[in-house]
Structures are given as structure tokens and as C-alpha cells.
Structure 1
């Protein structure tokens, strides 16, 4: 009996077609391919951004800059980079929750199961086609690795980086989760997408904290998404009022883009959407302890932020609400174990109580406070009230 014949491996266009067919079956909405040398301007742009300090406290951006700027430094054997998009377009206006001052607004992307978990499994499944049918090596990445997905997505033709630095698609507007597959397979590359922003600057002008020093440049230190999600410390006082009732992320610059007129509502089953996260009562959120927080937000990106930082954000929203009845929630949190929470409870009360009431509470707590940041928050609040008086 002769030896079994090995199945013929696919190459080029044939392998690309087989791969795309699999990604469509997995629910991806768009697939494009870039060359590893497709982002030649990225190294200098990244270097300038980091030099300006616009990365804030995201020190890993500096530590991984070399690998991030050139895909071939991350993996010298890579021959093709595949960018995949999964639509998460909202059914309703994502900015509607901003008018509900006694509720917290959650960014659209976080009203689903954690996209890292959703996409990574799908990417591994899709990448298996390249290995089994093409004999290629693969690596999959979803946001957490030093990969510049957005410039690569533009180089692949998936969309273009708008003036707000986020990928904009002519088919899906501003609502695409991105994933990347690096492979040793040589696949036909797609044509890059050109910029279609024109003279429009809606995304820049709507930003409540003025996080864009210029078109196509984002200062993360002023970005509400960075401040409420990535930033681990106390949020600068001059930015708190601009945060409004946004307690996890910000959709303003995405939601006002004119290209959203072509966007499509995401299919709920793929992302396990949570309709209960669109707008949440601040009073309920302020009462969450660590265990309750973990249960409430299990499986969502919100859980990764942790209870203390989340309650910090909730207290800023309470301070911005103008709802005096919410002062009771801030008063209770003056005794919280977290210094982040105690400091923002002081700030919230300074916005909701009279100078006399604030001084009364300070008298029993300011001198007993051991944390310097919280004491400074008391001092600023009392000084502010004295100045107003």
C-alpha cells in the first residue's frame, strides 16, 4: 500500500479566500491585509507623541515603543498582517445618557462582554486556517500587545485614523473592535484607505476636556476615557467638571462623526450586549463594595478597573450632578478605606453642600485624616468655599 498523499497547502489568493470565508463564519464584519512595512511613518510619530508626554502614566507605551513602532521588530518572521474588525454599533444615541445627571454614562464598548475575550477566541479560530491549510505560523493580538492596530488598519484599507485618532470606516462608522493576526504566510495585501475627514472637526470641538491639541493628536492626560479607565491616581481638579456623568469611558468624539450615518447596529448575540449598562443610577453605584462591584460587572471591561477607581469616577459624577440628595452617598464614603474614594467624596460634597455644612464635616474629619492627598482635597474645598463666600 502506498503512502498517504499529504493534502496540498494553499497559498496566496486561495489561502486568503479560505481565511476570509472562515472569518465571516465567525462573525467578523471586515478583514483586510497589510504588509509589515506598511506603516513607515509610525516610528517617528510615536516617538514625538511619547516625547510630549501625551501617553500620561501608560509607561508600557515607552517600554514597548521599539516593538510597537515596527511590526518586524516584534516578530522578524512576519510576512503579512491581517486586521479584522467586529462591529459594535449602538442601537441608540450613545450621548443620550449625558442628560441623565443622576445616572452614570458607560461607554458603548463597555456595555458588552469584554471584547478582549470575545475577539481573541475568534482570532485563534481564524488563525487556525492559516496553519492547517497554509502551513503558516501565526500570532494573534487584541489590544494588549505592542501592536499599532490603528495605523495598520489604515494601511490595510480597513478604515482611516480620524482627527480623533480612532479608526473610522465608511461601512461601520466609528464602531469597530480591532484584532490583528501576524503570519508567516505571504498573502495579497489590500490597498490602504485614504483620509476622508476633510475640513470636518466635530470630534475635536465636542471634547469636554480639550484632549486634542491639534487634529490627529490626542493628549491622553486630558482624555476622559484615559482618566476614567487607565489612570490609577487622583484625577486633576481642573478636568473633573468636564467629565460630567461619564463614569467609564467617553463616546463624544465617536458619536458625532458624520460617517456614523453609514454605521450598522451590532448583532447582540455576538458580543453579549448588556442593555442594563447604558445608564446606571449613581446612588446605587456609590453603595457597591468590592464583592458587589465584581458581581455587578463580571465579564465586562469595567471589572478590570477595580472598585475603588470606579467609585472615584462615580463620585465625580455625583459632584457634577447638581443633585443635593446625592450628597448623602458622598457623606457615607468619607469613611471609605480607599484614599481615592475619600478624596473624591470631599470634592463631591464641596459641589453639593453649603460652606457651613462642608465646614461642619471637615471639623470632625480633616485633622484625623492620615492621607496627604485627602487632606489637600479638604483644604482646597474649604478654601474654595471661603472664596465664594
Structure 2
């Protein structure tokens, strides 16, 4: 346990924490009570509606999300940290989305997996605090535990949750990662900020699969990020044509958000684009065998979906693309893939391209 700290010492420590966090590469810091507020009720309603799809782990561990003290007993304050991730020198997203021969990968996944990087930096921050005041109770998280991180970030004044359910900051938009340091320190808390979405519905209107039932109400079962990353089974056929060439995640609701004109490019070398995945050809990526996939995606978030789902997603994108001889040949080479999941989506894509080719010849 830490030594007893006066209010003045806590204020001074909070100021130093902000300085140290900046030195460690974080762009913003906020401190909140260990309370998610009204977001607990919103989580319950969202789960009760089945919007989490087959992410059963969200329901199983919902109590820990609602009450941070169940996750970390004795927690008093939560330090939330923001790190911008928009990769420098990445291809302009809109031309890639419009090019049916190329693959679109969510901007957050183009570089190194953020989990280890952020967690290591947060641990370094904790050690600096410990060197200053002595041992104290803490745990660091980066999307690695049942933490309602956007709610905590909102409580900490780092921004507001927009209609697309992402956290928005006036000075940074939404292209950033969040991490948390749960502490037993009685630090002064920051005030939440007002929401500034106004009457704008650009994020809701752009969604290719109409995953939003309304503002702040996302049905993950229709979300392309869920379908391409979290969903392990077959992608529902009615949604496949709506996915376009998005093979890992979807950024549309962020791309149209007016606040993202203030977003800054990341200064982290680890978030730079790897293997040309910001503008890669679908046929090229579809040709990766499993060893190649594992080698090229080493250290990246993409690796977690595995080779079969990688091929599943690309098959759908090819089926939404040009009915070229090259695309049909690429699909044909995967028609006897060992995975039934891959074979099903390859067959769907081939039938779709063959039908398109016949219509073009009429």
C-alpha cells in the first residue's frame, strides 16, 4: 500500500502523471472514479437485445464491466490514456474502398498489434509512479480484460461517446487507442466534457450494412468489424454483398466523421503500414498460404483471426469485385480448401462472379 498522500500531494502527482504519460508517447490522460455511471444500464440493454452476437464472453463477464471494483478490488481511480494510431504514409482510404480489386484493412490494424505496446507503456508509467511514492495497488489494461473503456474515458473527460459508439475528442477525432491504469490512489478526477455531435448523422447514414438501429445503438451482428474479426462462422449471405472489399474491420463511420479532420498522424513507428496492406490486391492476399499468412501477420492484430477466416473474408471481397478471369481462377484454386468455411464462401463468390459474367455477356 502507498504512503498516505495529502490532497496537495495527489494534485502534484496527477500533474506529474500527465507529464510522464506524454514522455511515454500518450497524447492525452484523464482520471475518473471507478464508476461507469449510466453506461452500466446501457450495457445491460445492449446485451439483452442480443446485439453482441456470438461474443458470449461479453455477457459472461458483464458484471466486471459494470463494476470495476469487481475486477480490481480496492480500485479508487482509473487513469485512462489515449494514443493516436492513424498510420503515416498510408494510402487514402476512399480510393481503396472504391477499387474492387484491392483490399481494405481497418487503419488500426495496418501496423503492429497495439495491445503489447500500450500495455508495456502503461506498466512503465506505473513504475514511474511507484518510484515517486512507493508501492501502490494497480493493474494495467489495454482491451485485455472486461473493461468498459469508452465509458471510463468519457468519465475521465477524454471525449464523448459519439452516435457511432466510438469515443470522440474535439482535438483528435476518434483515430486512437485507449488504455487504463486501475489504481488505489485518491487522485483528483477530471470533469466529463459535453457531447458535440449535434444533429449530425453522417456516421449512421454511411454504414454499409445498416448496423445502427439509431444513435448510440449498434447491432454488432450487422457490423463489418464484427463479421470480419469476431464472428467465427459463416457470414450471413444477405450481408456479404454489402461488405464490398472490406476484409478486416471497417472505418466508414470514422472516415465521414467531421471531427476526424482534427486527427493527427501517429508518431509511433510500430503503427506504420506493414507489407503494403493499406492498398494490397485481393488476389495477391488470397494466394497467401497459411505459413505465409502467419509470417506476414506476425506481431499484428490481423493474425488473431487465423488463416481460414482470412480467406473467408477475402473470398467475399472477391465475390463483390470484378468478374475477371484472374479472380475466378484464384477462387478456383481454393475450391477444395480443407476448411468447409472457406469452401462455402469461395463457392458463393464464384457463383456470384459467374452470374455477373453471364449478365455482362448478354
TM-score (norm 1): 0.87
Q: Displacement, 1:262?
A: 1.3
Structure 1: runs of 5 or more not aligned: 1-6, 358-384
Q: How much is the aligned-residue C-alpha RMSD, in angstroms? A: 2.0
Match for residue 170 of structure 1? 170
Query: CA contact under 8 A between 1:18 and 1:129: conserved in structure 2?
Result: no
Match for residue 43 of structure 1? 40
Match for residue 217 of structure 1? 217
* Counterpart mapping for 1:289-308 below 5 A: 289-308=289-308
Q: Displacement, 1:90?
A: 4.4
Q: CA separation of 1:14/1:270 partners in 2, compared to 1, >3 Å: closer, same or farther?
A: farther
SS in 2 for 1:208: coil
> Could you list the per-position Cα deviations for residues 150-209 of structure 1 after superposition, in whole angstroms to 9, with x for gaps in the alignment?
011111010111000001111111111000010011111111022110000000000000
In the alignment, does 2:61 pair up with 1:64?
yes
* Counterpart mapping for 1:317-356 below 5 A: 317-325=317-325, 326-354=327-355
Q: Displacement, 1:271?
A: 2.8
In the alignment, does 2:109 pair up with 1:106?
no
Match for residue 235 of structure 1? 235
SS in 1 for 2:265: coil
Structure 2 distance, partners of 1:179, 1:200, is: 28
Match for residue 361 of structure 1? none
> Could you list the per-position Cα deviations for residues 8-37 of structure 1 after superposition, in whole angstroms to 9, with x for gaps in the alignment?
978311111222221111110000111113
Match for residue 363 of structure 1? none
Structure 2 distance, partners of 1:32, 1:150, is: 12
SS in 2 for 1:178: strand
Structure 2 distance, partners of 1:43, 1:174, is: 22
> Which entry has the higher C-alpha Rg, 1 or 2?
1
Match for residue 81 of structure 1? 78
Q: Which runs of structure 1 show a deviation greater than 6 angstroms over 4 or more consecutive aligned residues?
A: 7-10
Structure 1 distance, partners of 2:271, 2:346, is: 35
Query: CA contact under 8 A between 1:106 and 1:250: conserved in structure 2?
Result: yes
> Could you list the per-position Cα deviations for residues 338-370 of structure 1 after superposition, in whole angstroms to 9, with x for gaps in the alignment?
11110011000111114999xxxxxxxxxxxxx
Query: CA contact under 8 A between 1:118 and 1:271: conserved in structure 2?
Result: no
SS in 2 for 1:177: strand
Match for residue 286 of structure 2? 286
Query: CA contact under 8 A between 1:286 and 1:314: conserved in structure 2?
Result: yes
Structure 1 distance, partners of 2:277, 2:262, is: 25
Structure 1 distance, partners of 2:86, 2:132, is: 33
Query: CA contact under 8 A between 1:33 and 1:80: conserved in structure 2?
Result: yes
TM-score (norm 2): 0.93
Q: CA separation of 1:270/1:353 partners in 2, compared to 1, >3 Å: closer, same or farther?
A: closer
In the alignment, does 2:191 pair up with 1:194?
no
Q: Displacement, 1:265?
A: 1.4
SS in 2 for 1:133: helix
SS in 1 for 2:333: helix
Q: Which has the higher contact order (CA 8 A, sep 6+)?
A: 2
Aligned residues: 352
SS in 2 for 1:321: coil
Structure 2 distance, partners of 1:152, 1:332, is: 48
Q: CA separation of 1:18/1:333 partners in 2, compared to 1, >3 Å: closer, same or farther?
A: same
